[in-house]
Amino acid sequence: MMKILFLDQSGKPGGAELCLLDIAKPYRDKCLVGLFADGAFKELLEQQEIPVQVLTNQAIKVRKESSLIQGLSSFGQITPLISEVIKISHNYDLIYANTQKALVVGAIASFFTNRPLVYHLHDILSLEHFSKINRQIAVTLANRFASLVIANSQATKTAFIEAGGNPEITKVVYNGFTSKIYDIDESKIYYLRQNLGIDRQFVIGHFSRLSPWKGQHILIESLTHCPDNVTAILVGDALFGEEDYVQELHKQVANLGLEKRVKFLGFQADIVPLMKACDLITHTSISPEPFGRVIVEAMLCRKPVIAAKAGGAIELVEHQKTGWLVTPGNSLELAEIINHCRQHPELCETIAQQGQIVASQRFDLTTINQQISQLLIGVISCGNEKERLEKEIFTADE
């Protein structure tokens, strides 16, 4: 089995990290996950017995919106990290960069060690989320050093190519899921709803970090167009310096008199019971989502889902067949479908069942991991052939 060095910049378990967790499991005896920050993600990897090492104690301060000057000023911070990754890379067959900062470090390590580089792209490279220079760096490094770019949706691939990415090295592979973990004892859900004080409510769930572009404020606004027994639970917390938005949400709830109808539950390590406790799950991103992990998780929980009609979400949900799609940012349209779902429970159950069947087939983790494995084997094979040809040319020159 090939030996893989996975690289990820985050110590916190976001969508990209949860995807990496699943990808690394089959290689746990022959891999290392190198993190650029300590945190809960390291603990999750250790629980799965996946080798992990925090490679630096100094946070990399460059963010998606950073300028060229900010980027260059931080280069000195990552020099020791780059040296460490180069040293470790010699022990592995392939470098797998799971985030943009990991791509920067991985590309340099690939250059110095002649190890093939794979870049797993979990972001839509748009100017809404990335500065022009950061987008250009990602595309340039991927084109120059990566043997393969794995995009987590067609929307992500399209944005990468529109930004100048090489379509010849780019493949779409969706996130994978293990369906059985979403099948839990329903009797527990009754007590959970009682404990949360929502047992007699029509409960809408929203599961993501609290961030302006994730659109929790859209769901809150939609509640003003719904009956009083419609309650929302917000599961997640601010991650990247977005605490001001959390305060804005609390103010919005207070100003609209919705204190009894909106519950902030914070970050939850296990969201499945809470999803199961909902009557409906909403996804309200106001910018295109690269994939939309919670959409698939809602479907696997056999819950009807309403998703914003943009980005990867369009590839996951078939409108009025496996869920509903609404115009991003339109709280009134969202409220209309919420009310429709509340009034037609049998229709909701039918759509939820169909969503569960489709999701369990399309996003089966075993199948997804087989797809990735075949792609990685292809990268290694091409690298070995290239090395063989180079040796033949060198020998002939002698």
3-state secondary structure of 202: strand
The reply to whether 179-362 shares the fold of 4-176+364-397 is yes
CA distance linking residue 148 with residue 371, whole number of Å = 13
CA distance linking residue 252 with residue 246, whole number of Å = 10
Architecture of domain 4-176+364-397: 3-Layer(aba) Sandwich (3.40)
* Full pLDDT tens readout for the chain, 398 residues: 799 999 999 998 989 999 999 999 999 999 999 999 999 999 999 999 999 999 988 766 555 554 444 554 455 678 899 999 999 999 999 999 999 999 999 999 999 999 999 999 999 998 888 889 999 999 999 999 999 999 999 999 999 999 999 999 999 999 999 999 999 888 889 999 999 999 999 999 999 999 999 999 999 999 999 999 999 999 999 987 789 999 999 999 999 999 999 999 999 989 999 999 999 999 999 999 999 999 999 999 999 999 999 999 999 999 999 999 999 999 999 999 999 999 999 999 999 999 999 999 999 999 999 999 999 999 999 866 555 544 554 444 45
Q: What is the pLDDT of residue 396?
A: 45
| C-alpha angle 98-46-300 in degrees, rounded to nearest 5 | 65
Architecture of domain 179-362: 3-Layer(aba) Sandwich (3.40)
- The encoded tokens of residue 15 equal 């969508």
CA distance linking residue 138 with residue 132, whole number of Å = 10
Return the sign of the alpha-carbon dihedral for residues 111, 117, 120, 125: positive
- The encoded tokens of residue 10 equal 């985050």
Domain residue extents for the chain: 4-176+364-397, 179-362
**In sequence order, which residues have a C-beta less than 8 Å from that of residue 248 and are 6 or more positions away?**
217
Q: What is the pLDDT of residue 268?
A: 92
First to last CA, the chain: 34
3-state secondary structure of 121: strand
Q: What is the pLDDT of residue 76?
A: 63
User: DSSP letters of 218-254?
Assistant: HHHHHGGGS-TTEEEEEE----SS-HHHHHHHHHHHH
